[in-house]
Amino acid sequence: MRIFATLIICLISISVFAQPDRWQQKVKYIMDINMDVQTNKFSGKQKLEYWNNSPDTLHKVFYHLYWNAFQPNSMMDARSRELGKTQFRGRDGKPVGDWDPRVKDRIQNLKPEEIGYQKINTLKLNGVDQQFKVYETILEVNLSKPVLPKSKVVFDMDFEAQVPLQVRRSGRDNPNTGVRYSMSQWYPKMCEYDYEGWHPTPYVAREFYGIWGDFDVNITIDKNYIIGGSGYLQNANQIGYGYESAGTKVTRPPGNTLTWKFSAPNVHDFVWAADPEFKHLTRNIPNGPVIHVLYKYKPDNAGNDAAWKEVADAAVTVLPFIEKHFGEYPYKQYSFIHGGDGGMEYPMATLINGPSLGTAFHEWMHSWYQMMLATNESLYAWMDEGFTSYAEGLVSAFYKQKKAGLISGLELLTDSGKAGQPADLPLYQDDSYAGYFNLTRSGLEEPLTTHADHFNTNYAYSNAAYSKGAVFLAQLGYIISDSLRNKTLLEYYKTWRFKHPNAGDFIRVAEKVSGVQLDWYKEYWVNTTKTIDYAIDSLWEQNGKTNIRLKMIGQMPMPVDVALQFKDGSKEMAYIPQLIMFGKKPQEDATPMVVHEPWKWTHPTYTFEVNQRLMNIKSIEIDPTQRMADINRKNNKLELNW
């Protein structure tokens, strides 16, 4: 028995040491909010327990005050107007500004009662008043006593805020949705401190980064308002509105207001929305979360009702597929809430401005690539938006196939009609490849390492983060095989969930799974704007065999698949790994694969031999699955009509 116990302890130790040891700060927010729906203002009390798990002594801390961006001449306002001076040709051929169409120059025209603000009245550290300074959307606090390593402190704050007119993500009275309040980035939020130091990123346009912890949020509001948000409603049977337990008679306390008590464990943000005309749908997934859908009810639009119901039903359909391919959803609820200005993700909830299934799937997949993995979006937006866009493509394809009755299990049909096999085209990622190719042709591309707020154009940011980021994963399947790429995604989730990974962390997981060296792939695809272009250069017969010479025209090296079809109907895949891979991918389908000597990226041409007479070859094609993002596919295929 002692030997067995010792073995168990050893196995546990191995498991622990196999996990990343990167430390994380921790927070617990306790907030009491009183909303005045007449003035669109609220007062708040925030108790913030802060664990400094770092090895560093902290002499100051920073908070985000996001809503201060919604004031004339703010950084967000100035940046949007400046980008608007850059002109592009729209689809109709007319010039359009590069600014975000939801922002444009609207902020500079906000009236005093329409602006947003977050004002700090008092701030204490362990009961002692603190000195602080506001830099628009960042609050800097010089601490009277430093926070020591491995210690916990408590910050107490009294604050007040005015809900801005809907401009970007959050706000009130959006004319497009009619939703009264979209409450995102609504509270003073502690900035992240990690192994790279503090991240007091001003709110200019995008993206977000936060500390995991627990949120207890009590929201007092007019009793006619219905709320959807992050977390679990603790007093559901007093609130009602569809949250109460089955068969419960709801007895609300007297008065004109209700206090909604939410608890959200192990999240890095909290969102809510409120409207007196929300309709609330719920769906229970067996052994899974409760799905909530809250939307602005339109009695004269039955189609709107049906579309929102499909969002609820589709979530039930796709979750088993999502969990099989991307990892388990760990929370007990998820809410799709009508609000915001498009689609914007938050822990356990999203704001969407309409019942688009594509948007709903995209925002839900952010639960994996931002709410649970949570890279620093400012630095690695492509790892969130790109990975999410990739996943959205697969989830959307699965739902369409499932709804059409084409599949019964949890595997997709490829373009060739076979489940689980490489597709004839990039698997449901055509839009991402098209976006990336357009970016390369635009002359506006910047490296993916560019800070999200520092791209020269919104166009370059969007196509880089969403399209090029998605292609990164689709193309990784070409390099190491789709099956090992899929395994990598699951291992990445298991290894780095709740740990703020970076690009290097993902690559190391992929290297461990595949046994292939991949640092070169990250360096070229992420750190540069070099492109891929391979071509069939020439072919000739010698001693009864055919020599095929390929040419590397682009500046980014890649392994090369060359599909050969012969006159007798047989096929062969010539596989040429890159030398810097120090490995190769496994055979992906039933086509015989001949592995040739690695290509040295320093050599612009490469010649390999085929054990067939030249006249026996019918066609030669580089990358027949088109998963490689070759910017000129016209030189990839040669038809030999002898």
CATH number at residue 589: 2.60.40
Clarify whether residues 444 and 469 are in a common domain. yes
Lowest mean per-residue pLDDT among 375-379, 409-413, 508-512: 409-413
Which residue type, as a one-letter code, is found at position 306? A
How many other C-beta atoms can be found within 10 angstroms of the C-beta atom of residue 602? Answer: 8
- Write down how long the chain is: 642
Query: In terms of pLDDT, which residue wins out, 107 or 303?
Result: 107
Q: Which of residues 590 and 300 earns the better pLDDT score?
A: 590
Same domain, residue pair 478 and 429: yes
Residue 480: inside a domain = yes
Q: What is the pLDDT of residues 162-192, one digit of tens each?
A: 999 999 999 999 999 999 999 999 999 999 9
CA gap 61, 154 in Å, rounded:
12
- Average pLDDT on 52-65 reads 98
- Number of domains observed in the structure of the chain: 2
Q: Is 270 contained in some domain? A: no
Q: Say if residue 529's pLDDT is above 50.
A: yes
**For residue 381, what pLDDT is reported?**
97
Of 527, 555, 585, the position where a domain reaches its end is: 527
Domain shared by 437 and 487, yes or no: yes
Domain boundary among 527, 552, 570: 527
Strand partners, 154: 49
Q: What is the pLDDT of residues 317-359, one digit of tens each?
A: 999 999 999 999 999 999 999 999 999 999 999 999 999 999 9
Contact present, 329 and 289 (Cβ < 8 Å): yes
The reply to whether 101 falls in a domain is: no
327: left (phi over 0), alpha (psi -120 to 50) or beta: left
Statement to judge: residues 515 and 404 lie in one domain: yes
The rounded distance, in Å, linking the Cα atoms of 49 and 47 is 7
CB-based contacts of 602, cutoff 8 Å, min separation 6? none
Work out whether strand 171-172 and strand 151-162 pair parallel, antiparallel, or are unpaired. unpaired
DSSP annotation of 247 = T
Contact at 8 Å (CB) between 339 and 178?
no
User: What is the value of pTM for the model shown?
Assistant: 0.94
Is 475 in the same domain as 554? no
Q: How confident is the model at residue 97 (pLDDT cuts 50, 70, 90)?
A: confident
Confidence category of residue 7, pLDDT binned at 50, 70, 90: very low
Domain co-membership, 553 together with 604: yes
Tell me how many degrees the CA angle 470-473-474 measures, rounded to the nearest 5.
85
Place of tokens 């040429």: 576
Residues 549 and 619 occupy one common structural domain: yes
User: Are residues 509 and 582 both part of a single domain?
Assistant: no
Q: Are residues 542 and 453 in the same domain?
A: no
Please work out, in degrees rounded to the nearest 5, the angle formed at the alpha carbon of residue 283 by the alpha carbons of 281 and 286. 170
Residue 267 near residue 371, CB atoms below 8 Å? yes
- Asked whether the beta carbons of 602 and 535 are under 8 A apart, the reply is no
pLDDT band at residue 1, thresholds of 50, 70 and 90?
very low
Per-residue confidence band for 424, with pLDDT thresholds at 50, 70 and 90: very low
Q: Is residue 290 part of a domain?
A: no
Q: What is the CA radius of gyration of the chain?
A: 27
pLDDT at res. 19: 57
* 118: β partners: 161
Range of the domain at 613: 534-639
Number of C-beta neighbours around residue 287 at 10 A: 6
Question: Is residue 311 one of the residues assigned to a domain?
Answer: no
Task: Say if residue 519 is in the same domain as residue 541.
Answer: no
The share of the chain scoring above pLDDT 70, in percent, equals 95
In-domain check, residue 568: yes
Kindly state the DSSP code that residue 585 receives in the 8-state scheme: P
Quick one: 544 and 606 in the same domain? Answer: yes
**Mean pLDDT over all residues of the chain?**
93
Q: Give residue 10's pLDDT.
A: 41
- Give the domain-ending residue among 503, 527, 551: 527
Residue written as token pair 């635009």: 442
pLDDT for position 6? 41
Shared domain check, 540 and 490: no
For the cut 60, the answer to whether the pLDDT of residue 610 exceeds it is: yes
**By C-alpha distance, which of 580, 568, 552, 565 is closest to 624?**
565
Joined together, the tokens standing for residue 22 give 């990167």
Residues 6+ apart with CB under 8 A from 164: 67, 70, 110, 114, 115, 116, 170, 171, 172
User: Is the model's pLDDT at 302 over the cut of 90?
Assistant: no
Check: CB of residue 29 under 8 Å from CB of residue 213.
yes
Cα diameter, the chain: 96
pLDDT band for 94, please (50, 70, 90 cuts). confident
Residue 606 domain-assigned?
yes
Q: Is residue 633 part of a domain?
A: yes
